[in-house]
């Protein structure tokens, strides 16, 4: 195979993975919409969707069409996909049973509803696992910290921009750079430095909301995607994170290491290209750094630096 043929095949594989990831995004959204509609039906009553009562309800579900785009190629084995199809069918069978009981004015057993919740959670878990597998195929996971890396940023922010446009809900983006991190490597060595990076990633994850996304851009730089939050709320959240991070002592190899970080925050504005968004949020962080570090700089129409 010539180099150009190899590149061509790699590009095709990359495009296929991206297409499958988009199908997964649709599947996850469709699953959430279906589950919300079903819960409303079970709580509020009314006439059930005939498709949900059909024997082949799982095949009529919009999620089923998205799953077809994720089917492994002929001859390939994919146990996770098979498990997903089984869980999806089981979810619809339980839902049909509950809806039939409701239509007959019979009480819904708590155990039956718990079974629905459990299998619906299983479907979502399998969808997310499949998403992680595909994203790892793109090389989008940072091996040191386990966070999404720079390759995943454009895909994730593009999805979030679409959500902002669709729902009109705000989203903030935060650029994080650890202050004077080179001194950690110089004083303690790279192994200790790597341990501090891993511990920092875990610290951010434990102090943010479960649906926030954290990326490692490289070195000691991180990016935070904070959905459903405006600039004022993001500023308060990140200032608390900054305080807690600076006050925390990381215990690594018998040593206690303290480190601070500088933060830049902007709104995720659909009118800007993603590269422009990243440039602006990094510039905000650099202003925080130029003010001495351990600062939060928020981009409004101009710059507004918050510091303690």
How far does Cα 24 stand from its chain's mean position? 13
Contacts of 51 (CB under 8 A, 6+ apart): 57, 60, 61
Helix axis angle, 79-103 to 110-137, nearest 10°: 150
Backbone angles phi, psi at 265, to 5 degrees: -130, 135
The strands making up 296-299's β-sheet, listed across from edge to edge, are 148-149, 213-218, 221-227, 171-178, 261-267, 296-299, 303-306
The DSSP bridge partners found for residue 178 are 261
Give residue for tokens 């988009």: 22
> In terms of C-beta density within 10 A (0-12 exposed, 13-18 middle, 19 or more buried), how is residue 7 classed?
exposed
Any catalytic annotation for residue 220? yes
CB 29 within 8 Å of CB 65: no
Would you state the structure tokens that stand for residue 162, as one six-digit string? 């679409």
Catalytic option among 220, 269, 279, 306: 220
Helix, coil or strand: residue 303 = strand
Backbone angles phi, psi at 19, to 5 degrees: -65, -40
d(CA 69, CA 295): 46
d(CA 60, CA 82): 18
Length of the chain: 308
Give residue for tokens 């500088």: 262
Would you state the structure tokens that stand for residue 37, as one six-digit string? 């509609």
Active site residues: 220
């Amino acid at each position: 195979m010539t180099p150009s043929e190899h590149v061509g095949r790699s590009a095709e594989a990359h495009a296929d993975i991206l297409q499958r990831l988009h199908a997964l995004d649709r599947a996850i959204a469709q699953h959430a919409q279906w589950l919300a509609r079903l819960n409303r039906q079970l709580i509020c009553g009314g006439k059930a969707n005939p498709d949900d009562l059909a024997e082949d309800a799982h095949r009529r579900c919009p999620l089923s069409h998205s799953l077809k785009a994720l089917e492994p190629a002929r001859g390939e084995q994919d146990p996770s996909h098979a498990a997903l199809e089984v869980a999806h069918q089981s979810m619809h069978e339980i839902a049909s049973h509950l809806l039939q009981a409701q239509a007959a004015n019979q009480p819904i057993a708590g155990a039956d509803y718990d079974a629905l919740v459990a299998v619906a959670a299983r479907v979502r878990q399998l969808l997310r696992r499949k998403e992680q597998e595909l994203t790892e195929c793109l090389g989008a996971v940072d091996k040191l910290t386990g966070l999404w890396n720079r390759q995943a940023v454009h895909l994730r922010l593009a999805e979030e921009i679409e959500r902002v446009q669709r729902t009109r809900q705000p989203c903030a983006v935060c650029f994080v750079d650890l202050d004077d991190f080179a001194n950690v490597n110089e004083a303690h060595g790279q192994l200790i430095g790597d341990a501090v990076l891993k511990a920092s990633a875990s610290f951010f994850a434990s102090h943010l909301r479960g649906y926030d996304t954290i990326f490692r851009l490289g070195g000691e730089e991180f990016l935070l995607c904070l959905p459903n939050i405006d600039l004022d709320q993001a500023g308060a959240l990140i200032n608390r994170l900054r305080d807690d991070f600076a006050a925390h002592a990381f215990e690594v190899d018998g040593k206690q290491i303290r480190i601070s970080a500088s933060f830049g925050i902007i709104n995720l504005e659909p009118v800007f290209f993603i590269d422009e968004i990243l440039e602006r949020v990094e510039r905000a962080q650099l202003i925080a750094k130029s003010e001495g570090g351990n600062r939060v700089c928020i981009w409004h129409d101009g710059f507004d630096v918050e510091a303690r």
